[in-house]
Structure 1
Amino acid sequence: MLALHDRIRASVMDACARQASEQLATVAADDGEAGDTIYAIDRVSEEALVQGLAEPARKEPLCIVAEGLPDNALVLPRGAREDDCRWRLLIDPIDGTRGLMYQKRSAWILTGVAPNRGAGTRLRDIVLAVQTEIPLLKQHLSDQLWALRGTGMTARRFDRLAGTKTPLTLRPSRADTIAHGFATVVRFFPGARDVLAAIDDEIVETLVAPAPGKAACFEDQYASTGGELYELMAGHDRWIADLRPLVRKGGLCCHPYDLCTSLIAEEAGVILTDPAGAPVDAPFDVTSDVAWVGYANARLRTAIEPVLQGALGRRGLL
C-alpha cells in the first residue's frame, strides 16, 4: 500500500510540473448530485490507482470503492466477483484537490482497508489505513502515515530531492484550552457560513475570556479532511468540527472516503466523534454525508463538547 501511494504521489506531482493550473482545474466530470466534482488532476491519480492495484489484485481479488470509478466501485482483477474479495478498500486518490491544483496547499492520498462485508461494511471495520502527502512543487518534504488497528501510528518523511525516507514523530497537542491555538469549525465552501460562524463564535466566547484587541484563538480552513486529521495528529490544531451535514442538507459535505484514514488519527491519540459524542462511523461509500468532531486530547473534549452540543441544541441541530 505504501508503494501504491508513492506511485500516485509521483504521478500527480509529474502532472503538476508539466501542466498549468488551469489545465489541471478543468472539470472532468460532475453529475450534479451525488459525489464531488472530478477535476482533470483527479483523473491522473485515478489512473495511477487502478494501474498500481492491478498487480496485487492478480494475487488476491480486491474490491475498490473510490470516487471517479464507474459506479464508484471496481473489482480487480477484471472478471472477478465482489464475493471473491477478502478485502474492501475505500480510497480518496486526492483529498484536497482544489488547493493542490492551484498550488496553494498539499493534498493527501487516503486509503482504508477493511474485511469485505459487502454493502454492510463500515468505516469502523477498517483495520489498516495509509495517508500520504502530495506536496506543492516548491516543497521538497512530504509525510506518510499509516496504522494497523491496535498497534499505534507510524510516520515517515520523504525528501524528494535526496530520495530519502526518515522516521517521523507526531504528537497531538496536550493543551487543555483553545486559547492561542488553532480551533476550527469547517466552513470552506459557500452555504450556511453564517450559522457555522455563529456556532464558532459562541463556543470561543464561552471558552476563552475576551480581551480587547486580542485574538482568542485562530482557525485554519484546510479544504482536506485528511489534511485536517494530520493537523490534529501533528499537534498543530486542537479542535476541529465539520458540522456541514447538520446545517446545509444537500450541500457539499464530508463523505466517508474523506475519513477513511480516521484510524490513523485515533491510533495517534486523537479523539474522533460525531456531534452527539459517539465514535465517528459511516457507510463504506463515497456519497453519504458525515459530520465529525476531532479533539486533540480528552481534556479538550471535556471542555469543548458540552459547549458545542449546547450551541447545536439551541439551534435545533442536535
Structure 2
Amino acid sequence: FLLIVDPIDGTRNIMYNKRSAWILSGIAPNNGPGTTLADIEAAVMTELPTTRHLLADQLWATKGGGAFRESRNVFTDERELLPLRPSKSPTLAHGFASVAKFFPPAKAEIAAFEGKLFDAVLDSAGENPLIFDDEYICSGGQLYEILVGHDRFIADLRPVFFGAYGLPKKLVCHPYDICTELIAREAGVIVTDENGEPLSAPLDIRADVNWVGYANETLRDTIAPELARLLAELPNQQKEIRA
C-alpha cells in the first residue's frame, strides 16, 4: 500500500490561533508511479483545534463504505457521532462560496473571474442575492466546510490561473492537500478537476492539483458549464478546458 499524509494542513491558521488545522491521510494500493488520487481506498481527516475550541472533529471514509464524522470534547474526551450534511440548496444565493485566491499572485484576476462566474449563475432579478466569501486557507478545511453544510461551492484553480498569467506555480494545491477528497465524495459532494473529471493526479508530493467542490448535483449542473466557458477564455491556455 501507499500512504500519503499531510501532518499539518493549515499551518498559518493554527500558528496564529485563528482557525483549526487538519491532519490529512489517505491510503491506496501501491500501483507504482501510476498510483493516483483516484486509487485511494480509505481516508481520515483529524482536526487540530485552536486553544479556544471545546470540540474537535474527525472524519473518515472507505471507498463504497460511506463517510462518517465524530466530534470529541477536548476537555472530557466525550465523543459523539454526528451526521455529514452537505448543503442541498440549488443556488449559491445567500450562501458561502469562493474561488481560492489566498495570496497576492493573480488575486485581482481570480477575483474578477469569480465575479463573472457568480454573475453568470445567479438570477439577477429583484434584490441582489448575496454570496458570502469566507476563505479557509487549507484544503482540508475547505472540504470540511462543504461536508458540514457551511459552504456550497469552492474552486481551487491556482495552477490554471498561474499558468494563464505566466506566474510561477508556487503555493498551489498538491495531492497531499486533497488526499481526503474520498470523504467528500462518499458524503455526496461532487469533487472534480478543472475539466469536470474525477481527480486523478499522481499520488506524490509535487504534482499540481486543480479541484472544484460542489455541495450537490444541482449546483454542479448549474455552475460547471459556466466555469468551463470562463476557463476557456483565460489567456495563454495550452490545452482545451472541457465542460
TM over 0.5: yes
State the Cα distance separating 1:237 from its structure 2 match. 0.6
Q: Does the 8 Å CA contact 2:122/2:129 hold for their aligned counterparts?
A: no
Which residue of the partner structure matches residue 225 of structure 2? 306
| Greater RCO, CA 8 A, separation 6+ | 2
CA–CA separation in structure 2 for the residues paired with 1:189 and 1:215: 27
Indicate if the aligned counterparts of 1:233 and 1:296 stay in contact, CA closer than 8 A: yes
Task: Note the alpha carbon deviations across 1:236-287, whole angstroms, 9 max, x for none.
Answer: 1111111100011422100000011010000000000111111112111111
- The Cα of 1:132 is off from its aligned counterpart by 0.5
1:116 aligns with 2:35: no
TM-score relative to the length of structure 1: 0.71
Alignment correspondent of 1:94? 8
- Rounded to whole Å, the distance in 2 between the matches of 1:223 and 1:176 is 25
> Contact 1:208 / 1:216 at 8 angstroms: preserved in 2?
no
The structure where helix makes up a greater share of residues is 1
Shift of 1:131: 0.3
Shift of 1:118: 2.1
Q: 1:136 aligns with which of 26, 50, 53?
A: 50
Q: Tell me which residue corresponds to 2:142.
A: 228
Count of residue pairs brought into register by the alignment: 232
Code of the aligned partner of 1:206? A
* Structure 1 counterpart of 2:191: 272
Normalised by the length of structure 2, the TM-score is 0.92
- For 2:166, the equivalent position in structure 1 comes to none
Structure 1 residues not aligned, in runs of 5+: 1-86
Which sections of structure 2, spanning at least 5 residues, go unmatched?
Answer: 164-168
Structure 2 residue 179 is matched with structure 1 residue 260? yes
Give the distance between the partners of 1:220 and 1:257, measured in 2 at CA: 23
CA–CA distance in structure 2, aligned partners of residues 114 and 92 of structure 1: 15
1:160 — aligned with what?
A: 74
Higher Rg of the two aligned structures: 1
> In terms of mean alpha carbon deviation, does 247-256 or 103-112 score higher?
247-256
Q: What SS does structure 2 have at the residue aligned with 1:161?
A: coil
In structure 2, how many angstroms separate the alpha carbons of the residues matched to 1:159 and 1:91? 24
Deviation digits for residues 148-205 of structure 1 (CA, Å, limit 9, x no counterpart): 1001001100101111111111111000000001111000112011221111000111
- 2:40 equivalent to 1:126: yes
**Structure 2 residue matching 1:93: 3-state secondary structure:** strand
